[in-house]
Amino acid sequence: MKGKFIILTMIIFSMMIFAETIGEFYASKFDVDKMINSEKVNIKIFGYIKKYFETGYSGYLRSANQLRVKYDNSLNIEEKKIFDIMSSLTPQTTIEPIKKLKEIEMKYPNSLIIKILLLEFNYKQWLITGDPKLAKEILNEFQYIEKIMGDTPLTVFYKANFLYKSNLYGDKETSYKIIKDGVLKFPDNKKIVESFLTISSQMEKDKEDEQIFDEISKSYVKNPEVKENILLLISKHFFEINDKNFAKQIIIDKIMPNTRNSKILFLSYELLGDYTDTNVQKMNYYKKALNYNSENARVLSKWALAMLEVDREKYKSLARIALNKAITINPNMSEDAMKALRDLRNEIKIEVLINYILPITLFVGGSISIMVYYEKRKKKKEKYMLLDSNNDEDGEKDE
């Protein structure tokens, strides 16, 4: 009797652990860290494998494989096959997992997690190739997942981004509506929040829905793990609405101390230069930006214009060099930069004319004049001498 009780308890415990499928949990949470922290072992294993794919850190794959060995008897055949496929892949691959997932889809045609994984890998491959066949498959996978789960963070994320980026099926306004509704419905989902902040900034909807953007962005900034490029978008927004202190604080306190990414540091210093109050500060920030990318024509132009505003006489030579370099890199400079370069080139022509060509011309002209004068004088003298000589000869003959 005691043995039967233990077996029954184990069965109930197993049912509790594995009651929710991996697909349902992943679609509804769309958060790998929540999967790793789940008490359900199959979900935890999947979370570790997904984390490995996101970060490339093999320690997550090791943790997943250790749990697979320990709880092998508790995993069903479908889960084992999925874990076998995913653990055999490298994070950068897309074609091989699509091929293998389609093979097991034939055996499990109603598997939600297989449909989700196919959606994700098809989406990654579509971003690379833009293949319209893949786009059609992605739309079909949306429909299947939504039919089962309705709106979830996963479907909102992929649908909004797909419609935003697709040339064939794209609809940016619909994309924005989906992601805006999604962030209001799932404000704690990091991927939804990041997509909303990105799409709204790029479509310049951050001013149109300023209250929503401000609330979401201020909440996002407080998170311990944030993306630097998203922080830059947020900082730019607050600079534009004249909340300069908060915008600068994001860059100084959140971005710069926590990154070695030269592109991010370059853009950070450029942004500080764009919205600082004095031309001296602009000049210094643009110079710091150029330390991370000295071949950027846009910032070379801004740096040159700032120098000319600070002290034209002192910096005009350096500004001219910067603008000449900028126009060589990118001929399509701003009108202000083009005008400044034309003026500087004209100035140098005048300076060369006054300081070099004119003095040389005067010297050469003067030298020639002097030579001509002395040559004439010499000839005149010789003529007089010749006349005197002739007169002397005539006098001797008379005697």
| Res 14: pLDDT | 44
End-to-end CA distance of the chain: 174
Alpha-carbon torsion (319, 320, 325, 327), positive or negative:
positive
**How many other C-beta atoms are found inside a 10 Å radius of the C-beta of residue 127?**
13
Q: Report if residue 363 sits inside a domain.
A: no
Please give the average per-residue pLDDT across 204-210, as a whole number.
Answer: 95
Total number of domains constituting the chain: 1
- Which two structure tokens, joined as six digits, stand for 183? 């962030």
**Structural domain span for residue 239:** 164-259
Q: Report if residue 394 sits inside a domain.
A: no
Alpha-carbon torsion (345, 351, 354, 359), positive or negative:
negative
pLDDT for 76 beyond 50: yes
| Res 9: pLDDT | 45
pLDDT for 369 beyond 60: yes
Q: Report if residue 130 sits inside a domain.
A: no
Choice between 191 and 397, residue whose per-residue pLDDT is larger: 191
Q: Are 45 and 83 in contact (CB under 8 A)?
A: yes
Instruction: Give the separation between CA 326 and CA 330, rounded to whole angstroms.
Output: 6
- Which two structure tokens, joined as six digits, stand for 189? 């989902």
Q: Model confidence at 292, in pLDDT bands (50, 70, 90)?
A: very high
Cβ within 8 Å of residue 40, ≥6 positions away: 17, 18, 19, 20, 25
Q: Report if residue 37 sits inside a domain.
A: no
Please give the average per-residue pLDDT across 141-158, as a whole number.
Answer: 95
Residue identified by tokens 């039967």 is 4
Q: Model confidence at 370, in pLDDT bands (50, 70, 90)?
A: confident
Instruction: Identify the CA nearest to 154 among candidates 180, 125, 121, 120.
Output: 120
Enclosing H/E stretch for 114: helix 112-129
Q: Report if residue 399 sits inside a domain.
A: no
Q: Report if residue 323 sits inside a domain.
A: no
Q: At what angle do helices 22-29 and 112-129 cross, to 10 degrees?
A: 50
Q: Report if residue 198 sits inside a domain.
A: yes
Helix, strand or coil, per DSSP, at residue 38: coil
Q: Report if residue 185 sits inside a domain.
A: yes
What's the pLDDT tens digit per position in 253-269? 999 999 999 999 999 99
